[in-house]
Structure 1
Amino acid sequence: MPPECLAEVREFLDRLTPWVATREDIVGLLLVGSYARGAARPDSDVDIVLLTSDPASYLTDTAESGSTWTDRAGELGLGRPVRTRAWGLITERRHTLASGLEVELGIGGPQWARTDPVDPGTRRVVTDGARTLYDPRRALAALVRRCRP
């Protein structure tokens, strides 16, 4: 993996993680996939699970408060989404940064991280590689522990 790609991912995560910590509705942030397990290639996208008490506000582009997801994505340098697709308890919002790096935000509610029982899709995501970025309630830590062999 070229060092400039890793640096760009680090810079993005360094913007995202503190921003998440300022949002009362966000209950967890998990880096998953190849970057989480240290096996990213130049064509790898950055896969993130964002858990919130208000998933709908991240899945629509209008909000009563006037702060839309598009505005939030702009704050993070994500631009407009390229694709939105539902995957069970998670809805993917895929973005392409100006550099071409793809970021897939999997947005869902806290129930995605439940451990009794662990959803089979959640287990696959976590066992494929997971690194906790923000977990004030320790729900993601419990999930990762539960999914370890």
Structure 2
Amino acid sequence: MVVAYVGLGSNLAAPDVQVERALAALDRLPRTRVVARSHLYRTAPWGYLDQPDFVNAAAALETSLDARGLMQALLGVEQEFGRQRDDVRFGPRVLDLDLLLYADARIDEPGLHVPHPRLHERAFVLVPLAEIAPLLDVPGQGRVDTLLARVDASGCRMLAAV
């Protein structure tokens, strides 16, 4: 078993509900279970700004799936939720699941980049990740809490617990 970290986001069709449903779906993946999860955070859009705010979260998974198998499972969950990968880059989506880290692996293959290549510059990823794993080392980048201190996180607001 290894620990992998996943970032979750949605800004369509009741995004808070979509992220909660996605967390439950992650816990049902084969040979995988959610061992920690963050609160939900409302965040401003990144990249393409003319769209609704996002709801983001992070989860730690224990899994015996290999990195490629886990990535395929995440893509399958996105498809179950109606995600089409031909969406506008950084545009609105019902669900986005990003494999942020897979143990301490560094993987750079077609369709699989771990650690996530932009993890260290995105407050909407770092804020929920820091909630569940502030001392986690991101290979080649540093600790999550240090990375978070380098970005503007003022646009990330924790939602009240449901």
Same fold (TM over 0.5): no
Greater fraction of residues in helix: 1
TM-score, length-normalised on structure 2?
A: 0.40
TM-score, length-normalised on structure 1?
A: 0.42
